[in-house]
Amino acid sequence: MVETHSGGCACGAVRYRVLGKPVFATVCHCKFCQRRLASAFAVIATFDEQSVEIIQGELSECEHRSDKSGRWLRMRFCPNCGTTVLHTAEIRPGMRSIVAGTFDDTDWFAIDRHIWVQSKLPWVSMPPGVAVYPQGAPPSPQPDQPQEPAP
């Protein structure tokens, strides 16, 4: 049986459920995540979109375009309390990323990697056993397609 986990926004208007474990779980220390979540870093659990179900309420959407890459990020938040619950990103089609502080249980999955560590706050130290990237993570491997050597 596939495990399920639930979560929601701070006021309780929006509730969601996820199926199974995240495809990957990331801590992002970029300046944009620090600002958009008003926090020291973002904890992001990314799932296939069909594994994420909004079971109550409606989410509003705000699109941000990176001035570095030009790609969009669509943040989806509760219109009542403003909690950002998830986002979708142009770079990850077919996936939804849950802002993991919104889970009812926040400790049920392990973090795979820390990204944008070059802008982490000085009092944050890296735990052993995780992948650490100064900037963004390399693209996810595509299991359906053979890896082609770079030209």
Please state the closest distance from residue 42 (CB atom) to Zn ion, in A. Answer: 5
Whichever of 52 and 78 has its CB closer to Zn ion, that residue is 78
Please state the closest distance from residue 115 (CB atom) to Zn ion, in A. Answer: 7
For residue 59 the two structure tokens come to: 């989410």
Contact 131, 40 (CB under 8 A): no
Whichever of 4 and 118 has its CB closer to Zn ion, that residue is 118
Could you list the residues that contact Zn ion (CB under 5 A)?
9, 11, 13, 28, 30, 33, 78, 80-81
Please state the closest distance from residue 78 (CB atom) to Zn ion, in A. Answer: 3
Whichever of 12 and 20 has its CB closer to Zn ion, that residue is 12
Please state the closest distance from residue 93 (CB atom) to Zn ion, in A. Answer: 18
Give the neighbor-by-neighbor strand order of the sheet with 113-115. 60-65, 72-77, 84-89, 95-99, 42-48, 24-28, 113-115, 131-132
Whichever of 13 and 91 has its CB closer to Zn ion, that residue is 13
DSSP secondary structure, 45-101, as one string: EEEEGGGEEEEES--EEEEEE-TTT--EEEEEE-TTT--EEEEEETTSTTEEEEEGG
The C-alpha angle with vertex 44 and arms to 67 and 92, in degrees rounded to 5, equals 55
Whichever of 15 and 21 has its CB closer to Zn ion, that residue is 15
Please state the closest distance from residue 58 (CB atom) to Zn ion, in A. Answer: 10
